[in-house]
C-alpha cells in the first residue's frame, strides 16, 4: 500500500485550517474530557441497574478501563492529534470509513436535541427558588386531594391497589410522593396523575418549559459568540469544570448531615458480591459514557493538542478522573436515596416514589435544610453548569469537524454557528412535551448501543485496514515513545470481544426501554440514530465508484489513506523522512507547496 494524495484519487484535497488554534494550556484537553463525564443522563437512564451497586460494583469498571476504554481513548486521541482535524476529516486514514464521521455528526446533533432537558430542569428550580417560600417545600406545596406525600404521610394514608395477572393475587401499597416531583409534573396537565398506571397521555407542550429551553439555547449562543476562539473556549471550560466540581464537593459535604445520609455512604462503600456481579453487566455500558454524548468528541478535542502531546498518560488521567466524577455523583445519589428511605414506615407496603433523584427529588431534600433557598441555588447551579458544559463541548466538536471538513464554511463561521444553534433550539421543542420528557432515555440508550458498533468499526479501520505496523509507526513518531506490540494485540483481538458483549447488552437494555416508550420515540430513534448507520457502507460505495478498475482495485484504493500526514511543516518533513520516499508519491510535495 502506498500513500496517496487526494489528487491521485480524484477527490478534493484536504486543506487544513491553520488558524484553528491550540489549547491555551495542555491540561485544557484533560479538563475538556473530564467535562464529558458530566453527562448525567447516566444517573437517569441507568437508574434501575446501577444505583444499588455502590463502590464495589464499580470494580469491573477498572478492568474494562484497562482492556478497552483507555486503548480506545488512545486511538481517538491519535487520530485527532495526528491529523489536527475533527471526527470527519480524521478519517483520511481510510476514506472508505469516512461515513463514520458523518454518522458521528448525526449522533452528536441527535443527542443535543434531548440533552437540553438536563439544563432546563435545574433552571426551573433556580428561578423558583427566588421565591420567599419554596413551592415544593412542605410549607409551600399544596397537593391534590387524597395524595399522600412525605409531608402529610402521617396524617393520611392513601392506598393504591395493585394486582398481578392473577386476579386473586391482590395487595395494597401506600405510594408516598415527593413534592418536588409532583411540582415538576404540574407543568403538564396530563402528568398530574400517575400516567404510568394507565394509558399513555396525549401530547402536550409546556410553554413554560419551552421558554426555559429558549433561555438555555440563548446562553449557549452567547458563549459561542463570545468564546469562539479555541484558547478562550478552553479557558472557559477549565473554569466551568473546576467550579462545577467545587460546588459538587460543597453539596456533598452538606448532604452528609441529612438524615440517613451516612447510611447511604455506608451502603455505597460496603463490599457485596451481588454488586460485583451486577457491575460486570452494567459497567460495560457505563464505560462508554467516557466519550460523551457524541461519538467523536475525544477525537475532535485532541486535535487541538500539540503534536508531541503524550496521549498515553493523558488517556489514563482522563479515565481515572472521569471515574472520580462518577463516584462523587454516586455518593450524592446514595445519600439522597437513603434520605427518602428514612421516611418509609416499617411496613413493606409503603413505597416512596423517588423519580430522577439527582434532578427532581433532591429539591424536596434541599427544602429541609437551613437557608433552603441558598442551598437550592447552589446545588442546581452545579447541575446547570454540568449540563451546559456537556452541551457546549459537544457543539464545539461539531463545529470543529464541520469547519475542518468543509473549507467553504470557514468564511461563514459565525453564520453557520448561529444557524445550527437556531435549528437545534427549534427541533428540541419536541422534548419539551410530556412524551419527550418521559421517554427521551430510549434515544439515549440507542445512541450508546451504536457507540459500540462505531468503536468496532474504528478498530477495523485503523488496526486492520490501515494496518498494525503503520499505526504503531505513526503513534511512536507522534509521541516520541515506543508503543508496545502487546497493546496492539489487546486492541486487535481482546477489545473487540468486550465491545461485542457491550453491544449485546446495549441491544437488550435498549429494547426494554422501548417497550415502555412511545411508538413516536421509536420512529425518532430510527430516523436520528439507526438509519444514519446506513451512511457508513453507503459512503464507502460512493468512494469506490469514484475510483477506476475492478471491484478489488476500487476497494483497495478506497481504503488507502489520503493526505495522511501532520499539518505542521516541520512535523510533516520529519514524518516523510520516517516513512521514506518509497512509500510517498511525489504529489505529496505538490500539496505541501500549495497549502503553504
Write out the binding residues for Na(+).
35, 37
The percent helix, strand, coil of the chain (3-state, each to 5) is 70, 5, 25
Closest CA to 274 of 498, 56, 43: 56
Q: Residues 362-392, buried b or exposed e (16+ Cβ, 10 A)?
A: bbbbbbebeebbebbbbbbbbbbbbbbbbbb
Distance between CA atoms of 585 and 581, rounded to whole angstroms? 7
Q: Which three cell numbers stand for residue 280?
A: 460486570
| Bridge partner residues of 314 (DSSP) | none
**Binding residue ranges:** 35, 37
Distance between CA atoms of 105 and 102, rounded to whole angstroms? 5
Residue pair 129/381 in contact by the 8 Å Cβ criterion: no
Sorted by sequence, the CB contacts under 8 Å of residue 241 that are 6+ apart come out as: 31, 34, 35, 38, 389
Distance between CA atoms of 106 and 387, rounded to whole angstroms? 20
Q: Which three cell numbers stand for residue 499?
A: 465491545
3-class secondary structure, 248: helix
Reported in sequence order, the residue ranges of 249-347 that DSSP labels E, i.e. its strands, are: none
Q: Which three cell numbers stand for residue 583?
A: 512509500
Consecutive H or E run containing 353? strand 350-353
Closest CA to 103 of 544, 458, 422, 511: 458
Characterize the bridge pairing of strands 350-353 and 170-177: parallel
Distance between CA atoms of 388 and 217, rounded to whole angstroms? 10
Consecutive H or E run containing 498? helix 495-515
Consecutive H or E run containing 352? strand 350-353
Annotate 366-412 with DSSP letters as a single string.
Answer: HTTSSSHHHHHHHHHHHHHHHHHHHHHHHHHHHHHHHHHH-GGGGGG
Using a CB cutoff of 8 Å and minimum separation of 24, what contacts does 512-515 make? 513/45, 513/441, 513/442, 513/445, 514/442
Amino acid at each position: 500500500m502506498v500513500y496517496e494524495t487526494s489528487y491521485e484519487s480524484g477527490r478534493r484535497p484536504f486543506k487544513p485550517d491553520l488558524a484553528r488554534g491550540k489549547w491555551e494550556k495542555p491540561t485544557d484537553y484533560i479538563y475538556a474530557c473530564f467535562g464529558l463525564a458530566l453527562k448525567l443522563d447516566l444517573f437517569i437512564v441507568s437508574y434501575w441497574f446501577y444505583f444499588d451497586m455502590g463502590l464495589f460494583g464499580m470494580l469491573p469498571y477498572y478492568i474494562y478501563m484497562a482492556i478497552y476504554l483507555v486503548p480506545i481513548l488512545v486511538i481517538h486521541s491519535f487520530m485527532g492529534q495526528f491529523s489536527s482535524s475533527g471526527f470527519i476529516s480524521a478519517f483520511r486514514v481510510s476514506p472508505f470509513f469516512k461515513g463514520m464521521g458523518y454518522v458521528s455528526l448525526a449522533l452528536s446533533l441527535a443527542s443535543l436535541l434531548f440533552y437540553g432537558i438536563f439544563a432546563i430542569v435545574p433552571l426551573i428550580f433556580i428561578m423558583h427558588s427566588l421565591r420567599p417560600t419554596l413551592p415544593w417545600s412542605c410549607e409551600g406545596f399544596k397537593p391534590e386531594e387524597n395524595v399522600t406525600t412525605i409531608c402529610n404521610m402521617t396524617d393520611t394514608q392513601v392506598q393504591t391497589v395493585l394486582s398481578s395477572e392473577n386476579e386473586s393475587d391482590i395487595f395494597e401499597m401506600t405510594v408516598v410522593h415527593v413534592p418536588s416531583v409532583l411540582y415538576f409534573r404540574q407543568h403538564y396537565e396530563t402528568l398530574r396523575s400517575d400516567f404510568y398506571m394507565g394509558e399513555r397521555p396525549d401530547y402536550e407542550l409546556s410553554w413554560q418549559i419551552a421558554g426555559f429551553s429558549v433561555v438555555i439555547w440563548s446562553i449557549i449562543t452567547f458563549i459561542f459568540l463570545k468564546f469562539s476562539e479555541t484558547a478562550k473556549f478552553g479557558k472557559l471550560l477549565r473554569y466551568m469544570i473546576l467550579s462545577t466540581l467545587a460546588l459538587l464537593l460543597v453539596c456533598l459535604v452538606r448532604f452528609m448531615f441529612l438524615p440517613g445520609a451516612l447510611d447511604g455512604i455506608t451502603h455505597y462503600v460496603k463490599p457485596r458480591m451481588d454488586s460485583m456481579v451486577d457491575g460486570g453487566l452494567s459497567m460495560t455500558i457505563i464505560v462508554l459514557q467516557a466519550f460523551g454524548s457524541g461519538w467523536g468528541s475525544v477525537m475532535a478535542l485532541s486535535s487541538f493538542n500539540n503534536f508531541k502531546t503524550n496521549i498515553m498518560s493523558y488517556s489514563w488521567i482522563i479515565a481515572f478522573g472521569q471515574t472520580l466524577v462518577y463516584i462523587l455523583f454516586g455518593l450524592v445519589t446514595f445519600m439522597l436515596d437513603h434520605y427518602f428511605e428514612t421516611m418509609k414506615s416499617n411496613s413493606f407496603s409503603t413505597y416512596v416514589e423517588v423519580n430522577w433523584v439527582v434532578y427532581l427529588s433532591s429539591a424536596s431534600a434541599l427544602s429541609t435544610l437551613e437557608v433552603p433557598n441558598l442551598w437550592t441555588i447552589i446545588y442546581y447551579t452545579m447541575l446547570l453548569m454540568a449540563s451546559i458544559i456537556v452541551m457546549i463541548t459537544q457543539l464545539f466538536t461539531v463545529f470543529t469537524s464541520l469547519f475542518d471538513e468543509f473549507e467553504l464554511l470557514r468564511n461563514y463561521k459565525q453564520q453557520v454557528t448561529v444557524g445550527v444553534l437556531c435549528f437545534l433550539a427549534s427541533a428540541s421543542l419536541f422534548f419539551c412535551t410530556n412524551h419527550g420528557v418521559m421517554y427521551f432515555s430510549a434515544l439515549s440508550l440507542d445512541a450508546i448501543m451504536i457507540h459500540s458498533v462505531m468503536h468496532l468499526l474504528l478498530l477495523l479501520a485503523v488496526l486492520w485496514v490501515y494496518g498494525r505496523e503503520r499505526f504503531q509507526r505513526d503513534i511512536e513518531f507522534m509521541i516520541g515513545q515506543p508503543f508496545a506490540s502487546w497493546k496492539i494485540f489487546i486492541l486487535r483481538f481482546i477489545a473487540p470481544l468486550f465491545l461485542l458483549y457491550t453491544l449485546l447488552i446495549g441491544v437488550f437494555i435498549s429494547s426494554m426501554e422501548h417497550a415502555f416508550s412511545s411508538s413516536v420515540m421509536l420512529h425518532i430513534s430510527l430516523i436520528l440514530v439507526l438509519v444514519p448507520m446506513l451512511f457508513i457502507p453507503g459512503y464507502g460505495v460512493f468512494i469506490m465508484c469514484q475510483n477506476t478498475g475492478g471491484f478489488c482495485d476500487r476497494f483497495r484504493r478506497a481504503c488507502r489513506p489520503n493526505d495522511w500526514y501532520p499539518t505542521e511543516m516541520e512535523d510533516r518533513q520529519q514524518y516523510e523522512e520516517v516513512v521514506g520516499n518509497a512509500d510517498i508519491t511525489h504529489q505529496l510535495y505538490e500539496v505541501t507547496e500549495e497549502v503553504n
